[in-house]
Structure formats: C-alpha cells, structure tokens
Homo-oligomer: A and B are copies of this chain.
Amino acid sequence: MCLRARNSVSEFICTKTITGPAAWLSTDYTDPDQWTVAITESDTTELFAALRSARGAGKALSEITRADFPLNELAKKLAEVSEDLVEGRGFVVLRGFPIGADIPRADIEMMYWGLCSHLGIPVTQNGRGEVIVPVKNYGNGGLLNASTRGYQTNESLPFHTDSSDIVGLLCLKSSGQGGLSSLTSSVTIHNELLRNHRELLGLYYAGFYYDRRDEQAGGEAPYYRNTVYSWNDGRLTCRYYLRNFIESARERYGIEVSPVERLALDTFESIANRGDFTLKMQIRPGDIQLLNDNSIVHARDAFVDTDEISRELLRLWFNPFGAPVPPAGHAAFREGMPVQQATAE
C-alpha cells in the first residue's frame, strides 16, 4: 500500500470545474427519449425465462446473482444502461417492465431483483435487513416521527441521495396526484458552488451529523457523520442525505448546527432547485427509475393517495460491480444498513 502525504487542498477538495456528461443542465435533457430505455417484448420473454431458471435454482431472492438469472440481449442493453448510469449522465428510466395484475408479486420482485443483479450487488436498506423496500405511505406519522424514514411517507422529500451507489425505483402504482420526481446533477451543483460559493465548499467535505432514526445497531451512537462531497483519486462523489436528519440529530442529541453550516445546506438545496439545473419527470407504472447517488440528487413532490389507488414503488439499493470504495466518513451505509439482531426475551 502506497501511503502518500496529503497536504494540498486539491487532494482533498475538487477545485476544478468538472466537464463531461455527469455535469448536465436541465436544457441538455428536454426529451424523455433521451433517458428512457424500452423493455421490449423480447426483453420481457427473456425476463420470464430467467425467472423460471432462478426458481429452478431453489434459492431465496437475496441469494440470486446474475449467474442465476441468465439474460442475453437484455444483458447487453443493461450493460449500456450501466455505462450511462456510472460514467454518463447518472440516470436512466427503463420503461415497460412487466407488472401486470396477472403476475404474482413474488415474480415481479424476483424479475426486478434479477434485472438489477446484472447492474450490481444489492445491499440492505433498513435494520430489518430488507433488500426490496416498498416506497409508499406507511401512515406512521411522517418525518416528524423520529423513527420514520423518507420512504415511509407521502410527504415531499427535498433533494437528497440514497445510501448505495445506485437506487432503483420500480413503479407499481402511481398516485392520484403528485409524486413528481426532480433530478439535479450534484456535479453541476459542485461546479456552481466552486464558481459562486467557494467559501462554503470545505463544509461539504467536512461533513454533517445525521440521526440514525433509531436504526443503530447495539453499541453504536444514534447519529453518524457523513461528508456531502468526496474527492478521492480524482473522483468526485456526493451523498446528500435528508436534511431533516441533521436537524433531528440536533434536536434529539444536541449536535450543534452552526449558522454557516445551515447556510451551506440552504445554498446546496437552492442550487439543486434551480430551473436551469433541475429535470422533472413523472414515474409511471412499469418504469424503473435508476439514479446514481454519486452524481445525482433527487427530490419528490408530496403525493395524495385515493381510495382507488395508492402510490407504490419498489426500491432497490445496489453498487455496480467493481465500483471504487469511497473513503471513510463518506457514503455511510453504501454497503447497506446494519441489520439489527432480534433481542431474545
């Protein structure tokens, strides 16, 4: 292992404007066809064949790898999708995934898992070790309830990232109203911070303290620190977790948030919300929205369920094969949420 002295600011903080496909503006993407990839009839045939093969292996869903879920032409398509996600603009929508009412939920989940197993390695999303999590209104009181997480509410969620490198959202049901999705390149945000708010830049690299929302494993502190940006081996990555959890760590555990730290959070979100930076899209049933958390922050409008229809998405978190591991203190829970042991009584 080569230990290098790191003592110049450019080794810790990206001080150059980043160009390339990850640094996009909303004007670069005005046509959904630019980011939408259709799952064709023959792709669907491949998915069902792979489903039968995976069922034949007799494994639990979480043990299924891409070897257990053989795809052919669709695998090649997914390799291009992965390229766009990891090296390109950082977001893709797969359209036309089979979610028909005639398909058992377990089969939909297995095919979704199987498809994503060609894009990377899934990780756990909560203390119960769940790897496919329904994103819907759980009716447990919204984010003001200290144990509630964003995926369990129908509230608007301000710009944030999830924990893993890639988040997938398969839409099973839209809501009657709302739920519009907003995406902004966190690389573009960094460029803007560097250009017009350079004095704040170091704060994102120092990190903020977040409430674990009662998902700490035994002996862990109920909060953790995470850096918003990391610049490591010439690679800029971002993790901007829900800001509510910073205020929640302050309220519950007394972790101070200084005025200039709040200004940095305000500034980040204000830039993320700029019309020239943000792309809006509505996810429809059968869509899989794939986002690279390293380079995209996303937000969601509040939604309203009706008696007839309740919005439901299935979320998967995964890391691309061979993806670089971020430095300590950045991208907390990228490898999954720690699973809590059930206490014996």
Q: What residues make up the interface of A, taking CB atoms closer than 8 Å to B?
A: 6-7, 9, 12-13, 15, 194, 197-203, 205-207, 225, 227, 256, 258-261, 263-264, 266-267, 329
The answer on a CB contact under 8 Å between A206 and B13 is: no
**Nearest-CB distance from A205 to chain B (Å)?**
4
Residues of chain B lying within 8 A (CB to CB) of residue A197: 9
Cβ contacts A to B, 13 pairs, < 8 Å: A9-B197, A9-B199, A9-B267, A13-B199, A194-B199, A198-B199, A199-B199, A199-B201, A200-B202, A202-B264, A206-B206, A225-B256, A227-B260
> Which one of B7, B194, B200 contacts A9 once the chains associate, using CB atoms below 8 Å?
B200
A5 to chain B, nearest CB (A): 11
A97 CB to closest chain B CB (Å) equals 41
Contact of A201 among B12, B15, B202, B263 (CB under 8 A): B202
Identify which of B206, B256, B258 contacts A258 (C-beta below 8 A).
B206
Taking a contact as CB atoms under 8 Å apart, the answer to whether B200 and A260 are in contact is no
Distance (Å) between the CB of A331 and the closest chain B CB?
A: 14
How many identical chains are in the complex?
2
Residues of B within 8 A of A256 (CB): 207, 225, 329
A44 vs B269: C-alpha distance in the bound complex, in angstroms? Answer: 63
Given A12-B263, A266-B7, A258 contacting B329 (CB threshold 8 A): yes
- Counting from the closest, the 3 A-B pairs by CB-CB distance are A199-B201, A205-B260, A202-B203
- The reply to whether B6 and A259 contact each other, CB–CB distance below 8 Å, is yes
Q: How far is the CA of A225 from the CA of B258 in the complex (A)?
A: 10
- Of the candidates B194, B258, B266, the one whose C-beta lies within 8 Å of that of A227 is B258
Chain B residue numbers with a CB within 8 Å of A225 are: 256, 258
- Across the two chains, which residue of chain B brings its CB closest to A209? B256
Contact call B258/A207, Cβ cutoff below 8 A: yes
The docked-state distance in angstroms from the alpha carbon of A263 to that of B194 is 18
| Residues of chain B within 8 A of A207, CB atoms compared | 256, 258
Q: Are A12 and B202 in contact (CB under 8 A)?
A: no
CB distance from A316 to the nearest CB of B (A): 30
**B206 lies within 8 A of A12 (CB):** no
Do B9 and A206 touch (CB < 8 A)? no
A194 partner residues in chain B, CB cutoff 8 A: 199
Output the residue of A197, A206, A258, A266 with the most chain B CB within 10 A. Answer: A206
Which partner residue on chain B sits nearest A224 by CB separation? B256
A205 contacts across to B, CB distance below 8 A: 258, 260
Interface centre among A13, A225, A259, A260 (most CB of B within 10 A): A260
Min distance, Cβ A274 to any Cβ of chain B, angstroms: 16
Shortest CB–CB separation between residue A13 and chain B, in angstroms? Answer: 5
Q: Is there contact, CB below 8 Å, between B329 and A12?
A: no
Taking the closest CB of chain B, its distance from the CB of A159, in whole angstroms, is 18
Q: How far is the CA of A52 from the CA of B244 in the complex (A)?
A: 63
CA distance A258 to B328 in the complex (A): 9
Name A206's contact: one of B7, B198, B203 (CB within 8 Å).
B203
* Complex Cα–Cα for A263 and B227 (A): 15
**Distance in angstroms between the alpha carbons of A207 and B203 in the assembled complex:** 10
Please report the C-alpha to C-alpha distance between residue A15 and residue B205 in the assembled complex, in whole angstroms.
20
| CB pair A199 B15 closer than 8 Å | yes
- Indicate whether A12 sits within 8 Å of B259 (C-beta atoms), given known contacts A198-B198, A266-B7: yes
